[in-house]
Amino acid sequence: MTYPQTPSSGEPLFRLEGVSYSAGGRSILPALDLEISAGRTIGLIGHNGSGKSTLIKLLAHQIAPSTGQIRFGGRALESWPSREFARNLAYMPQQVPTAVGTSVHELVKFGRYPWHGSLGSFGATDRMKVEEALDLTGMTAMAGRHVETLSGGEHQRAWLAALIAQDSRCLLLDEPISALDIAHQVAMLDLVRDLTKTKGLTTIMVLHDVNMASRYCDEIIALHGGTVIARGVAPSIMTPETLRAIYGMDFTVHVQAGSGRLAALVT
């Protein structure tokens, strides 16, 4: 099968035109115009309540905008049939189900549903994609384990494997490292970055830690009060002035010896 509506050269993967979102009488995102290109790892950062998760849910077609239009691959989001959309975009929410009684292998097989449906045959290509996803995420040895027996890091990798098996062009990850310790955060983001590059994906993820965003993202989009307040590569975001505008706090920014990476510390 092919990936329909793959963006042509110069066509943004996502285009938001006058998109707003309100809930419970409260405006969460005001009118937002935004374009996001394909083939990059993009981090969404900002203070709690800044609209990061709302934005990624809008992109994932989990909620509908109150006003405006979102285009994906040059096509209005609401015009995509659900299975066709899932062949092009995979979404991991903040809270993924525990999937009690389900093995890792069975969970990853669910990622193939958009390609064969509930009545379709699970064929050789599906098996190959499942085995590839397990291998790429280091979960092959755990394929027979029940998901509820996994550690936090293993649980996240199992769900990421299901998204990889889905074989979409775009991954949307809402706080994929929020419940992990620092070692597993680094391992998870290493894996996401490597998969993005080796498989030619576009990955958009919500991150709380600006230092992790700086280290792993090709581009950072910062939200404040539902508005894009800053956007660019890490050096343009990692300045005391910009970080104060984003978070309302004072930071010092250091260049790490050897790696040249930027690190921001609250002062």
pLDDT digits (tens, 9 = 90+) for 122-137: 899 999 999 999 999 9
Closest alpha carbon to 104 in 45, 155, 36, 53: 155
Confidence of residue 5 (pLDDT cuts 50, 70, 90): very low
**pLDDT classification of 180: cutoffs 50, 70, 90:** confident
Question: Is the per-residue pLDDT at 266 higher than 80?
Answer: yes
The answer to whether the CB of 111 falls within 8 A of the CB of 125 is no
Summarised one tens digit per residue, pLDDT across range 13-54 is 999 999 999 998 899 999 999 999 999 999 999 999 999 999
Count the helix, strand and coil residues of the chain and give each as a percent rounded to the nearest 5: 35, 25, 35
Question: Does residue 1 carry a pLDDT above 70?
Answer: no
Residue 241 has pLDDT above 70, yes or no: yes
Going by their DSSP bridges, the two strands 41-46 and 26-36 should be labelled as unpaired
Q: Residue 6 pLDDT more than 80?
A: no
The mean predicted confidence, pLDDT, of the chain is: 91
| Residue 152 or 144, more confident | 144
Question: What are the phi and psi torsion angles at 207 (to 5°)?
Answer: -130, 140
Query: Is the per-residue pLDDT at 4 higher than 50?
Result: no
Handedness of CA 180, 185, 191, 195 (dihedral sign): positive
Residue 51 pLDDT: 95
Region 226-233 average pLDDT: 96
Split at pLDDT 50, 70, 90, the class of 118 is: low
Q: How confident is the model at residue 147 (pLDDT cuts 50, 70, 90)?
A: very high
Q: Tell me how far apart the alpha carbons of residues 83 and 67 are, in angstroms, rounded to a whole number.
A: 25
Q: Which two tokens stand for residue 82?
A: 């659900």
Per-residue pLDDT of 66-79, as tens digits, reads: 999 999 999 999 99
* Least trusted range by pLDDT, from 117-126, 190-199, 244-253: 117-126
Buried b (16+ CB within 10 A) or exposed e, 186-220: ebbbebbbebbeeeebbbbbbbebbbbbbbbbbbb
Question: Rounded to whole angstroms, how far apart are CA atoms 242 and 251?
Answer: 9
Q: Which residue has the tokens 């391992």?
A: 187
Q: What is the pLDDT of residue 99?
A: 85
pLDDT at 256: 86
Only one residue has tokens 């590059």, namely: 197
pLDDT in tens, 81-91: 999 999 999 99
Cα angle, residue 115 at apex, residues 121 and 69 outer, rounded to 5°: 155
User: What's residue 179's pLDDT?
Assistant: 81
